[in-house]
Structure 1
């Protein structure tokens, strides 16, 4: 299995776990470091879903969004205290990292 297929398999497994996990109750409607946690989750999830649907590529705009939201998540993670919040956010971060490692979709 090459690196791209391996990344897709890993993201697929993590994505299934993420979809099965409940969004932490304490983060609903919460802001950490001025960042809306629901929107942070939704933005990253949207990029991950697009990455999966395009065979492992993101356009330049989604790459930018993902990098920005990954930076936001890195600011938020140290502020989380509940185990379920930390685990949920760490998995979300790993999904963001894995999908951001691929460049923009090739142009024809």
Structure 2
């Protein structure tokens, strides 16, 4: 199995885990600076769904959005005090990174 195939399978596994776990209540109104966690999740999930629907590709707009969300989550995760909420965001971050790493460049 190639590394890329394994990463895609990991992304699929993380997606299944993520979609079955409810968004943590304490993050519903959480903001870190000007970053709303629920908006990050919404943007990342949208990118993941488009990536899955398009056979593992994203357009340049979605790729840029996903990269921006990854950077924001990098910053936010360290500020989350609740272990359950932090785990939720860490898994979301890992999923976003796997999708970004397995997206060929498109126009």
Q: With the length of structure 1 as denominator, give the TM-score of the two structures.
A: 0.91
The CA RMSD over aligned residues, in Å, is: 1.3
Alignment of 1:55 onto 2:55: yes
Which 5+ residue runs of structure 1 have no aligned equivalent? none
Counterpart contact for 1:44–1:66, Cα < 8 Å: yes
Distance 2:68 2:36 in 1: 13
How far apart are 1:33 and its partner, in Å? 2.4
* 1:20-52 deviation digits (Å, cap 9, x = unpaired): 111010000221122011110000111111111
| Partner residue, 1:38 | 38
Decide whether the 8 Å contact of 1:8 with 1:52 is kept in 2.
no
Match of 1:67? 67
Give 1:103's aligned residue.
104
C-alpha distance in 1 between matches for 2:58 and 2:17 = 22
Matched, 1:91 2:91: yes
Partners of 2:26 and 2:81 in 1: CA distance: 11
Q: Where do 5+ consecutive residues of structure 2 fail to align?
A: none
Further displaced range: 77-86 or 27-36: 27-36
- Equivalent pairs counted in the alignment come to 106
Indicate conservation of the 8 Å contact 1:33/1:75, yes or no.
no
TM-score (ref. length: structure 2): 0.91
